[in-house]
Chain A
Amino acid sequence: MSAVLEIEGLRKTYKSRRRGVRNALDGFDMRVEAGQVHGFLGPNGSGKTTTLRTLLGLIRPDGGRMAVLGQEVPAALPTVAGQVGAIVESPQFFPHFTARDTLSLLAGAGEVPVTRVDEVLELVGLRDRAGERVKTYSLGMKQRLAVASALLKNPKLLILDEPANGLDPGGIREMRTLMRDLAESGMTVVLSSHILGEIQLICDSVTIISLGRRVAFGPVDQVLAAHSLGTVRVRLDAAEDLAAAAEVLGRSGVPVTRHPDHLMLSGVEKPASVSRLLAEHHLYVSELAPVSVDLESVFLELTNTAPVPGQHRQVDESVRIGGAEQSGRAGGGWGA
Chain B
Amino acid sequence: MSLYVTELRRLVKRRLTRVMLVLLVLGLAGVATALAFSSQQRSPAVIAQARADADAQYRQAVKDWEKGIAECEAAQGRGEQTEERYGPNCGRDWQPQPEMFDPEWSLPYEFDFRDEFSVLVAVFAGAVALFGFVVGASFVGAEWHTGGMMNLLLWRPKRLAVLGAKLAALLSLLAGVTVLLGAIWTAVFWLIASTRGSTAKVTAGVWQSTGLSGLRALALILAAGAVAFALASLGRHTSMALGVAIGVAVVSEIGMRIGMEVAGVAFGDRYVLSTYAMAWFQKQHKLFDYDACNLVQGSCEPAELVVTWQQSGLLFGIGSALALVAAFWTMRRRDVA
How far, in angstroms, from A175 to B78 measured CA to CA in the complex? 112
A92 is an interface residue with CB less than 8 A from chain B = yes
**Max chain B CB contacts within 10 Å: which of A89, A101, A109, A149?**
A109
- Taken together as a complex, chains A and B put the C-alpha atoms of A111 and B1 apart, in Å, by 10
Is B154 in contact with A94, judged by CB distance below 8 angstroms?
no
Q: Is B157 an interface residue when CB atoms closer than 8 A count as contact?
A: yes
Complex contact B155–A109 (CB within 8 A): yes
Chain B min CB distance to A13 (Å): 12
- On whether the beta carbons of A149 and B151 are closer than 8 Å, the reply is yes
- Contact (Cβ within 8 A) B155 A59: no
List A contacts of B337 (CB < 8 A).
53, 58-59
Binary contact track B1-29/A, C-beta < 8 Å → 1, others 0: 01101110110011100000000000000
Pairwise interchain contact A86-B154, C-beta atoms closer than 8 A: yes
**B142 partner residues in chain A, CB cutoff 8 A:** 94
Tell me the chain A residues, 63-99 only, with Cβ under 8 Å from chain B: 74, 77-78, 81, 86, 88-89, 91-94, 96-97
B176 interface hit (Cβ, 8 Å): no
Shortest distance from the beta carbon of B268 to any chain A beta carbon, whole Å: 39
Instruction: Please pick, from A60, A92, A105, A110, the residue contacting B146 in the complex, using a CB distance under 8 A.
Output: A92
Complex: chain B residue closest to A110, CB-CB: B155
We find that the number of chain A residues with CB closer than 8 angstroms to chain B is 28
Whole-angstrom CA separation of A35 from B6 in the bound complex: 33
A-contact bits for B150-179, CB 8 A (1 contact / 0 none): 111111111000000000000000000000
Residue B335 at the A interface, CB < 8 A?
Answer: yes
**C-alpha gap A223/B335 in the complex (Å):** 34
Given contacts A59-B337, A91-B147, A93-B146, contact A109 B156 (CB under 8 A): yes
Residue B317, interface by CB 8 Å: no
Scan B305-337; emit 1 where CB is below 8 A from any A CB, else 0.
000000000000000000000000000000111
A78 & B148 in contact (Cβ 8 Å cutoff) = no
Q: How far is the CA of A74 from the CA of B5 in the complex (A)?
A: 26
Closest residue of A by beta carbon distance from B1: A111
A52 to chain B, nearest CB (A): 10
A94–B148 contact, CB under 8 A?
yes
| Docked pose: A110 CA to B162 CA in angstroms | 11
CB distance from B229 to the nearest CB of A (A): 17
A56 within 8 A of B: yes
- By the criterion CB–CB under 8 Å, are B335 and A58 in contact? yes
Does the CB pair B148–A92 fall under 8 Å?
yes
Residues of B within 8 A of A94 (CB): 14, 142, 146, 148
Interface contact B156-A91, CB-CB below 8 Å: no
Q: Which residues of B contact A91 (CB under 8 A)?
A: 147, 150-151
Residues in chain B near residue A59, CB distance under 8 A: 335-337
- B333's nearest neighbour on chain A, judged by CB, is A60
Least CB distance from A180 to B in Å reads 24
CB nearest neighbor in B for A77: B157
Smallest CB–CB gap between A199 and chain B, Å?
A: 23
CA of A86 to CA of B157 in the docked complex: distance in angstroms? 12
Q: How far is the CA of A154 from the CA of B129 in the complex (A)?
A: 42
Which residues of chain A have C-beta atoms less than 8 A from B150's C-beta?
58, 88, 91
> A321 on the interface (CB 8 Å rule)?
no
Known: A59-B336, A94-B146. A74 touches B155 (CB 8 A): no
Query: Which residues from A are CB-within-8-Å of B13?
Result: 97, 101, 105
Give, as a whole number of angstroms, the nearest-CB distance from A50 to chain B: 8
- Residue contact A109 to B336, C-beta cutoff 8 Å: no
B155:A106 contact, CB within 8 angstroms: yes
Residue of A nearest to B336 (CB): A58
B147 touches A105 (CB 8 A): no
> Which listed residue, B152, B154, B156, B157, touches A74 by the CB 8 Å rule?
B157
Q: Are B158 and A78 in contact (CB under 8 A)?
A: yes
CB distance from B68 to the nearest CB of A (A): 73
Q: Assess the B10–A105 pair: CB atoms within 8 A.
A: yes
- B3 close to A109 (CB less than 8 A): yes
Given contacts A59-B337, A91-B147, A96-B15, contact A108 B154 (CB under 8 A): no
* Distance of B121 from chain A, by nearest CB (Å): 34
Residues of chain A contacted by B154 (CB below 8 angstroms): 56, 58, 81, 86, 88
Q: How far is the CA of A96 from the CA of B155 in the complex (A)?
A: 21
B146 and A81: CB pair below 8 A? Answer: no
How far is the CB of B12 from the nearest CB of chain A, in Å?
11
Closest to A86 in B: B154
In the complex, which residue of chain A has the Cβ closest to the Cβ of B6?
A108
Q: Which residues of B contact A56 (CB under 8 A)?
A: 154, 157
Q: Which of A17-42 contact B (CB under 8 A)?
A: none
A57 close to B (CB within 8 Å): yes
Cβ of B217 to closest chain A Cβ, rounded Å: 31
A57 closest partner in B (C-beta):
B157
Q: Chain A 108-131 against B: per-residue CB contact (8 Å), 1 yes, 0 no? A: 111100000000000000000000
In the complex, the answer to whether A105 meets B6 with C-beta atoms within 8 Å is: yes
Q: Please, how many angstroms separate the alpha-carbon atoms of A58 and B147 in the complex?
A: 12
Residues on B with C-beta less than 8 A from A111 are 2
CB distance from B183 to the nearest CB of A (A): 30
Q: How far is the CB of B132 from chain A (nearest CB, A)?
A: 20
Q: Identify the interface centre among A57, A89, A108, A110: most chain B CB within 10 Å of its CB.
A: A108
* A56 CA to B155 CA, complexed, in Å: 10
Distance A58 CA – B158 CA, assembled complex (angstroms): 10
C-alpha gap A60/B335 in the complex (Å) = 6
Kindly provide the distance from the CB of B173 to the nearest chain A CB, expressed in whole angstroms: 15
For A97, list chain B residues within 8 Å (CB).
Answer: 13
For A78, the chain B residues whose CB sits under 8 A away are 156-158
Contact (Cβ within 8 A) B151 A106 = yes
Q: Which residues of B contact A106 (CB under 8 A)?
A: 151-152, 155
The contact sample of 11 A-B pairs, CB cut-off 8 A, is: A58-B335, A74-B157, A81-B156, A81-B157, A86-B154, A88-B150, A92-B148, A93-B146, A93-B148, A94-B14, A105-B6
Which B positions have Cβ atoms within 8 angstroms of A?
2-3, 5-7, 9-10, 13-15, 142, 146-148, 150-158, 335-337
Top-6 shortest CB links A-B: A108-B6, A58-B336, A92-B147, A92-B146, A77-B157, A57-B157
